[in-house]
Amino acid sequence: MLSSSALGGLLLAVSIGSIWASFDVMFEKFEQLNGTEIVSVKLRVRKYNRTISVLAGIMDLKEVADNNLEVGIRCAYSSKGNNQFNQYPMKIARTKMCDFLNNDWREYYPYFENSSNLPKVGECPVQPMEFYFNDMVLDSNMFPPYLPHGLWRMSISLYRPGVDIPVILVEVYFKVAAVGVL
């Protein structure tokens, strides 16, 4: 028989686990703000059905991507969904492209492999080619176990080494809400 403190601890652990892992995510919008001379992004978010939005289209890489580019990812959220974004400490620090593809990409590639032909882990340099996204659904498991609900903006920047202005900037907008709300 469980003691009352053990039972209370078990209930607390179950309730915290359900709070931390209980959210849905859905694509809202995708924009390329600059860098079309390096990569032309023709991706759009579209409704797949009443409950799911997907990312579809192509990215045309026009030059070799290796350590002559650095990747940085920042996130911001708008709790009311009114585009008043606050920076959030969830980010991937600016790192060289090959280092990113050999390390950080390892955690995220499984979420892309069935719906795109993005480079595999360790494939660097990346040769110029067209990358496709075929109805990619955003998976909540690719994010930390808890995210505040609201509208999110993920800014993916590519830089030349030693230059602080991004040569490519794309922004992915997505919603986070309780399970079953989206």
Spans in the chain with pLDDT lower than 70: 1-21
Nearest to 146 by CA among 88, 73, 99: 88
In this structure, the dihedral spanned by the alpha carbons of residues 83, 152, 181 and 132, taken in order and rounded to 10 degrees, is: 120
39-47/53-61 β-pairing: antiparallel
What pLDDT score was predicted for residue 8? 41
Judge whether 149 and 79 are in contact, CB under 8 Å: yes
Rg (C-alpha) for the chain, rounded Å, is: 19
Note the pLDDT tens digit of each residue in 131-150. Answer: 999 999 999 999 998 889 99
d(CA 163, CA 153): 23
Judge whether 23 and 147 are in contact, CB under 8 Å: yes
Note the pLDDT tens digit of each residue in 166-175. Answer: 999 999 999 9
In which residue are the tokens 């009311």 written? 80
What pLDDT score was predicted for residue 10? 37
What pLDDT score was predicted for residue 17? 41
pTM of the predicted protein model: 0.85
